[in-house]
Every structure is written in structure tokens, then in C-alpha cells.
Amino acid sequence: MFTGPDQAGLVLGLDAVAWDEALHSGLLTKRSDGRIRFRHQLMEAVVHEEAPPANRQAVHHALASVLTGENADELRLWHLAAASEAVGRLDDEVARLLEESAHRSWARGACATAARALRCAAKLSSSMDDAARRLAHGARAAWEVGHVDVARRMLEQAEGVSSASTVADLSEGLRGLIEFAHGNLETACRQLTRDMERVAEPGQAFTLGSMALRAAWAAGHDALQREALQRLERRLPPGNFPNADLLPLPRQWWTEEPGGGAEDRARTAAPGAHILSRLSGSSWLLMPPAPLAVAWGIESAWGHATAGDQLVDQR
């Protein structure tokens, strides 16, 4: 991890005698790979808590200065961040580097690390706009790794330094997505509809509006479903954005037309293969369950199942 624990000590003015005394005291132990550790985590916590802030800052700076090897650049950032946090100092440069590191971690699938780095970067930010962006993006990273409570807290912190509209746009409507998955469906529909009108990117607005329709349907709230559809159509007039040509379909799929039963509507509304192939991503949420099930071939599976039941009855 670094070229030798004594090198960090040298930066702090400690010599080999000081290291020997610490090791022989029983507080520290040296592993076979040369790393020095506290003998017990409780000792580590007490020493860290009781050390003056300036001492903690000096130790983190010393460690950052001697790090070498794999991931040294990433680890150095954490020590520099900890040095600033120790004395309660903001550091926009370290915050910027942490944010860049977070996006690299996110790109390789380390979403938890990304969320942690973005939360730390927000703490070091002097600009409220930068802090809000980092918290909102961190919430999204936490959500992607399944840390729902962490995502909620980071959204609340972001809204504490910025507007709800700005945070909704930065997080791509995350609060409504969380409510959809873990909360009340009527509340989710209202939140998703509001955020649909707040996000700048039309494709994301389309996705949020589609989820709002599904949330209203799942809640059994027809009036809310109609309202969500109307607001989706107002939010996205014909334009150039991903799946823009699918925009007329929600009215066909989600509007109850007089005459004909649900089975008839399901049959007429079921999309062809060329449409279905485009519903492999988030846009499948445009469809209510009945035509979606028909498109996915449930009729064939249902026919086989019922045929088996009929054979059993005949016996």
C-alpha cells in the first residue's frame, strides 16, 4: 500500500526507536506484509477520537505523501479528504478529484464506492450547487447498488442546499422511483408526475411519465391515471427524443374506451414484434400488463396450461 510505514513516520519526524517502542507497548502489531495495525479496533477508535485535529490532519497528509503502488492515486484522495475533514476545512480541488474518482468507480460497477466518494466530495464543497449535484448523483449511485436508505438521506441533504426541482433533475427523478419501489403507489404517481415536469431531458421525462401511469394503474386510481396521461402529453409534445414516436401509444394502451371488454382491448393494443423489440429497456413501462402479456406470448403458454387442465377433467 505504501513503501514502508516508517516512511510516513519519517515525514512526521518519527524514527525507528519510536516505532519499536510503539510495537513493544502492545498497542500496535506488524503483519507479515509489513503493514502496521492497532492490536484492537477499539484502541484505534479511541486514539483517533482523542487525537487533536491538527495531528490527524498531519498523519493523513503524511500517509498521502508516501502512498505507492496499485490504486495509490485513489487512496491518496481519501487521505487528503480526511485531512481536510479533520480540521473542518473545505477543499474544492480534492472535492473535484473525488467526484472524478467516483464516476470512474461508477463506470466499473463500484456504485457503493462512488456514492461514498460523492458524499465526501459534497462535504468538502464550498459551492452549494456543486454539493447538491454531488449528493444527487451519489444518491443515484446508492440506489443502483440497493442502498435505499442511503439514497433517501442523500436526496434530503441535496434538497437542503438546493431546490427540489433542481435535485429532481440532477437525480433523474429518483425520489419518485424510490417511492414506486418501496412506498405508496399513489404518492409515487404524484411524485413521478411532478418530476416528469422538472427533468430537462425529454427521454427521462418520458420514462418517469410512463412509470407514473403504471403506478396509478397499480394503485387502482383511474382519475390519477388520466391526470398523469394528460400531463405526460402536455410535457412532451411531438419532438425529437428517444422513443418519441411511441408517445401516441400510451393513450391507446392506458385509456378505457367505451365498448369492448378488456380482452378485446388487449388484443387490439398488443404491439407487433418491431415495437416489442424496442420495449426491452425502460420503455416497456409504457404498456399496461394485459397487452404486454399478450405481446410476450402469454396466450400460448396459457393455452397449453388450460389444455392440460381440460385433459385432466375429461379423465
Distance between CA atoms of residues 285 and 135, nearest Å = 27
Q: CATH number of the domain at 90-171, please?
A: 1.25.40
- Paired with 28 in beta bridges are 38
Of the chain, the percentage scoring pLDDT greater than 70 comes to: 73
Contact 117, 104 (CB under 8 A): no
**What pLDDT is stored for residue 13 in this prediction?**
75
Average pLDDT of the chain is: 81
What are the domain boundaries of the chain?
1-89, 90-171, 186-238, 268-315
pLDDT digits (tens, 9 = 90+) for 159-198: 999 999 999 999 999 999 999 999 999 999 999 999 999 9
pLDDT digits (tens, 9 = 90+) for 54-90: 999 998 888 888 887 778 888 899 999 999 999 999 9
Of the chain, the percentage scoring pLDDT greater than 90 comes to: 46
Mean pLDDT over 211-232 rounds to: 91
**What pLDDT is stored for residue 6 in this prediction?**
62
**What pLDDT is stored for residue 294 in this prediction?**
42
For residue 257, what are the contacts with CB-CB under 8 A and spacing of at least 6? Answer: 265
- Paired with 29 in beta bridges are 37
The pTM assigned to this predicted structure is 0.77
**What pLDDT is stored for residue 7 in this prediction?**
72
Distance between CA atoms of residues 192 and 200, nearest Å = 14
Alpha helical stretches, state H, 51-200: 53-66, 72-86, 92-107, 111-123, 128-144, 148-161, 164-170, 174-182, 185-198
pLDDT at position 266 over 80: no
Distance between CA atoms of residues 84 and 89, nearest Å = 5
Farthest CA pair distance, the chain: 93
pLDDT band at 20 (very low <50, low <70, confident <90, very high): confident
Contact 231, 219 (CB under 8 A): no
* Alpha-carbon distance values, 5 to 34, 40, 68, 181 (Å): 8, 18, 12, 47
pLDDT at position 155 over 50: yes
Q: How many CA atoms lie within 13 A of 312 on its CB side?
A: 6
pLDDT at position 309 over 70: no
* Alpha-carbon distance values, 179 to 141, 175, 191, 251 (Å): 16, 6, 8, 24
DSSP state of 37: E
